[in-house]
Amino acid sequence: MRVCIDTHVLIWGIQRKANSTQLNKIQKTEKFIQWLEENRHEVAIPAPVLAEFLTGLPPDKADEIQKIFTGKFIVLPFDIAAARKYAEIYQKHNKTILNTRYEVKADCMIIAVAVTTNCDCIYSEDEGLKKIAQGFIEVRPVPVIPHQPQFV
């Protein structure tokens, strides 16, 4: 299974950062990312997600982050197919829910990359992204991964 992860999921699970109302998301997301790895799911990161993620880090951390991403994730490009799908998504919602906010345009790019690279779903808790993605790809919240006791 190939799954796509949105920016805030990476921030919670990799940077271990959250605002005061989302602190519970850090451990939950770390467990989820670990579960994805253990169950051999392909974890895909659209290039626009990586760009958003990197804007929250000092430039001297780029090499460290690249090593983490290279080992754990597949970074998906925003290519011609994604650009065409972006236009389709944007045009479908242009009169209804879209505006000129950067976040909305980035959400359309993320959805387009996920769709054109055959991701099964996007893990995101962004309601705006979820609304835009309707009819294109399923958007799921980060699930709770139950603790598995280890027997010796």
Residue 81 is assigned to a structural domain of this protein: yes
pLDDT in tens, the chain (152 residues): 999 999 999 999 998 999 989 999 999 999 999 999 999 999 999 999 999 998 888 888 888 888 888 878 999 999 999 999 999 998 887 766 655 566 688 999 999 999 999 999 999 999 989 999 999 999 999 999 987 655 55
Domain that holds residue 127: 2-140
Give dist(CA 88, CA 73) in Å, integer: 27
17 to 5, 21, 59: CA distances (angstroms): 16, 11, 17
Put the strands of the sheet holding 74-76 in their side by side order: 74-76, 42-46, 2-5, 121-123, 139-140
pTM: 0.90
CATH of the domain at 134: 3.40.50.1010
